[in-house]
Structure 1
Amino acid sequence: MNDNRQVWERVRACLRAKIGEEVYSSWFTRIELDGIDGDVVYLSVPTLFLKNWIQQHYAERIAELWRDDLPNARVELMVRSAAVRGVHSAAVAARRIVRTVEPRREEPAPLRDSHAPMPPATTPEIRAVASDMAGASPLDPRFTFESYRLGSSNRLAHAAALKVAEAPAGSTSVFNPLYLHADVGLGKTHLLQAIAAAGAVRGRKVVYLTAERFMYGFVNALKTQSALAFKEQLRGIDVLVIDDLQFLQGKSVQQEFCHTLNALMDAGRQVVIAADRAPAELDALEERVRSRLAGGLVVEIAPLDEELRMQILTARVSTLAQQHVGFKVPDDVLSFIARNCGQNGRDLDGALNRLLAHNQFNSSTISLEMAETVVRDLVRSSEPKRVKIDDILRIVAKHYNVTRADILSQRRTANVVKPRQVAMYLAKMLTLRSLPDIGRRFGGRDHTTVLHAVRKIEGLAGTDRALADELETLKRLVNE
């Protein structure tokens, strides 16, 4: 068993290096090895939601990492209570949905400056409340105001979030709703979870949900004829925090979200929302929802500047050094990464994880020369403009003399299909958005439709010089 434990530690380290510290810490810190029987590796996690999520997204990747030592390995995931006690109620597990942060019994402590040293781990007690929603959105104890690093790009968002979090129980809501938007890896989720944790300390009942969890919960409530209980539970809270709102899909789900939003705000309850773009750009949402969201305080978190990237790198190296004895990154290497490797926290995590992997597995001394080789594909060749799909739609519509609504519609006339396909092509070429995300932005279309459009325009541009010139003109207009 000791040999298996050593292999498991290697697998964990490889997984951490491959997926990044943020993802690993959010989903894999509570996974444990329970045993090995033949080619089957038994792993356990504390909740059914965590089991289902890892099974769906990472089970095969974990199995592959085991195959260096166990060629035919396959992974079986179990809920820990079942593995340890041998008895587990699936009905109870399925009902553990909304993560509600309950107030602590002791006197609340004041929030401190975000640059102060990290305090001991004293996060509010989090319990799963029985409900008809399915799955939980767990809070990460690392995401506090104390651990949030400040710079010019996020100072306003931090100040607004802190103001909301400091409001005592029973007080009038402020900045309602508070709507934060930014690209991935810029700290939206960190601030939302900090609000949830700090609000509970002040005696407020807070519910934190991703948009996906909200959708799943509402649909499940309809199936089990418990929609009324679902609505009453959400509308009986003090603060509703919704993350990744751009994934909220379906007319009935959006209607229920709008009713919940209105009911909470009309009752003076606080609503906090995060998404990857401003309310006006959430094309999949109904106009009345976008209008209500835009009526609050909308704050964009900009890409991290170099000084802030350096702060984040220094803090994360310190955390990694506590977990891996002897891990140290020279200042010139940190400066190189801060200057050249992306503008969000995930890029920085990826660079550090590569250094850690080479340092730990290859016994390589971390130097500037080594770093330049290890992270060369992460280095930005230039500082590109942040292209938005909304800009692409506007410019393409004007160029082809159609409307934005035409492009997003279901019309299939020739004068609309070509601009639509060109816009999809440009969205894939000029942004980092995935095919499914682009499809959602183009009237809720499937990712295969986007892929077909991209391939068709690529093929035509190779033989049609006039179209190739049009595409270059449009790219220039979008990037200006």
Structure 2
Amino acid sequence: MSGLLPDDPPEFHSAEALFQHYADLRARTQAAARSSVIAMTARRPRPAPVEAPPLAPAAPAGTASFSHAAPLDPRHSFAQFCAGDSNRMAHAAALALVQRPETARAYSPLYLHSRPGLGKTHLLQAIAGEAGSVALYLTAERLMYGCLLAAKERKIEAYHQALRAADVLLIDDVQQIAAPLARNTLGTVLNAMSDAGKHVVLGASVPPDELEGFDGWQRSRLSAGLVLEILPPEPETRLAILAQNCAARGAEGKASPEVLALIAGLPGLSGRDLEAALTRVVAHAEITGAPLGLADAEAMLGDLARGRRPEPVRLDDILRLITRHYGISRADLLSQRRTANLVRPRQIAMYLAKTLTLRSLPEIGRRFGGRDHTTVLHAVRKLTGLVESDAEIATEVRRLEIELREGRA
């Protein structure tokens, strides 16, 4: 699927600009996907395809037992989602899907990824809630269970048809799809829905290229539409999240502006962590009958920062930090160019990928422009030697490591 999507996508400042950029991708993606399927199945001739009948408006009889949607949290609505710089494009794309579905078809599947607690599930459920009965929202666990039950009853095709019957199919926690049958089902249904002009929305904790257990074709198919990352909220968005939660709980006045600012300033907290911190503060006020003072709040909330287990470093974090730190584009970093301003940052990025993540050399090479694992090994050995012999480079690499470990990428 190389060449369909840019390595370093341009910035968009409106949903309209996003639609314009991705308008032609769907046709190109479908053509590439079909050619991939032909290439993959060339050794196993099949009968000539028969034109499929129109998709049924509802799930076929006998499938209800394994196609139930996951329940929606009523709090997960667009009205209660706080949009900021960290999530603005993901929010705009999700909202456009329900407000302008015809236009939004240009970037299906919509793939949202982020670390836990940053709003993926909120947006997926908001889409499902707005779309109503034409939407089907499933977690990875429910998808796998449905596949297992359908296989046991020998109704896999009926299960596929039940999934395809939705106008909007939403699958959450894609990275947890461990069963090969479920992964194949997702790919098959995604193709059918794309051909039918329907929408697929996916949520995951990692980008498509980092999905474990998925083969190259499956990864490229999942990334064939629009892939957007949701970043940790900036201070302004954190304050907005806290204020909105206070209002939703009817807890205005139970947390002072100073205490809310304290919570918003705690490092590395997700939206879910912010809610947990606010719960402590509000509970104290309700139990004691008095708002928590700033000093007491610092003591009560200190463990949230001290006791948090650091999030694992991801390849995307490394790429983002290196491109920002050295002032280069991701496309240049992943390219085959060997100019002086690219070689050292690329070596450092590969070194950090090997030392801070659990990715194998072949996986790292694939993410770095399809390089061979021996190229990655050479870069790692080169940087290891420089870190041991050059104090300036060692200091630079250590600073980058600290930023990554502290979640400041």
TM-score interval, smaller chain: 0.5 to 0.7
Structure 2 residue 295 is matched with structure 1 residue 369: yes
CA distance in 2, matches of 1:280, 1:171: 26
2:324 is the counterpart of 1:395: no
From the superposition, tell whether residues 346 and 165 of structure 1 become closer, same or farther in structure 2 (CA, over 3 Å): same
Instruction: Establish whether residue 238 from structure 1 lines up as the match of residue 167 from structure 2.
Output: yes
Partner Cα distance (1:267, 1:407) in 2: 36
- 1:314 and 2:243 equivalent? yes
Question: For the Cα contact (< 8 Å) 1:393–1:404, is it kept in 2?
Answer: no
Q: How does 1:94-105 map to 2 (within 5 A)?
A: none
2:234 is aligned with 1:305: yes
Residues of 1 paired with 2:217 and 2:125: CA distance?
27
Task: Name 2:96's counterpart in structure 1.
Answer: 163
Q: Match of 1:173, SS?
A: helix
Higher share in helix = 2
Q: Deviations over 1:305-336 (max 9, x none)?
A: 000000110111122226xxx86111111111
Deviation at 1:150, TM superposition (A): 1.3
| Structure 1 residue 284, shift from structure 2 partner | 2.3
From the superposition, tell whether residues 311 and 407 of structure 1 become closer, same or farther in structure 2 (CA, over 3 Å): closer
Within 5 Å, which residues of 2 pair with 1:118-267?
Answer: 131-133=64-66, 136-168=69-101, 173-200=105-132, 205-267=134-196
Unaligned runs of 5+ in 1: 1-101, 103-128, 409-415, 417-465, 467-471
Residue identity in the other structure for 2:361: R
Instruction: State how far apart, in whole Å, the 1-side matches of 2:104 and 2:363 are.
Output: 43
Cα pair distance change 1:351/1:241, threshold 3 Å: same
Deviations 1:368-424 (A, max 9, x none): 112111101123799x9972167599537868xx9624999xxxxxxx9xxxxxxxx
The letter for the 1-side match of 2:81 is: Y
Match of 1:57 in 2: none
Match for 1:330: what amino acid? S
Q: Kindly tell me: are residues 217 and 312 of structure 1, through their superposed partners in 2, closer, same or farther at Cα, counting changes over 3 Å?
A: same
Instruction: Name which structure has the greater RCO, CA cutoff 8 Å, separation 6+.
Output: 2
CA distance in 1, matches of 2:67, 2:166: 18
Contact 2:114 2:206 in 1 (8 A): yes
Is the 2:281–2:292 Cα contact (8 Å) retained in structure 1? yes
- One-letter amino acid of the counterpart of residue 395, structure 1: Y
Report the Cα distance in structure 2 between the residues aligned to 1:153 and 1:195, rounded to whole angstroms.
19
TM-score, length-scaled by structure 2: 0.61
Whole-angstrom distance in 2 between the partners of 1:372 and 1:332: 11
Residues 311-460 of structure 1: matches in 2 within 5 Å?
311-321=240-250, 328-340=254-266, 342-363=268-289, 365-379=291-305, 387-388=313-314, 394-395=350-351, 404-405=361-362
> What is the rounded CA distance, in whole Å, between the counterparts of 1:337 and 1:357 in structure 2?
15
Instruction: Assess, with a 3 A threshold, how the Cα gap between structure 1 residues 283 and 130 changes in structure 2: closer, same or farther.
Output: closer
| d(CA) in 1 for partners of 2:396, 2:267 | 29
1:270 paired with 2:196, answer no
Quickly say closer, same or farther: Cα 1:479–1:389, change in 2 above 3 A.
farther
Q: Go from structure 1 to structure 2 and tell me whether the alpha carbon gap of 1:381 and 1:361 turns closer, same or farther (over 3 Å shift).
A: closer
Residue 222 of structure 2: SS of its match in structure 1?
helix
Instruction: Pick closer, same or farther for the CA change 1:247–1:475 going to 2, 3 Å.
Output: farther
Relative to the length of structure 1, the TM-score reads 0.53
**Aligned partners of 2:124 and 2:201 also within 8 Å:** yes
How much identity, in percent, do the aligned residues show?
A: 40
Q: Secondary structure at the match of 1:132?
A: helix
2:378 equivalent in structure 1: none
Equivalences, count = 287
Farther-moved stretch of structure 1 (183-192 vs 373-382): 373-382
**In the alignment, is the contact (CA less than 8 A) between 1:157 and 1:300 conserved in 2?**
yes
User: 1:216–1:403: structure 2 CA closer, same or farther, 3 Å change rule?
Assistant: closer
Native 8 Å contact 2:350 2:364 kept in 1: no
- Give the aligned CA root-mean-square deviation in angstroms: 3.8
Q: Which amino acid aligns with 1:404?
A: L
Q: Alpha carbons of 1:321 and 1:153: their partners in 2 closer, same or farther (altered >3 Å)?
A: same
Letter in 2 for 1:162: L
Task: Label 1:339 to 1:380 Cα distance change in 2 as closer, same or farther (>3 A).
Answer: farther
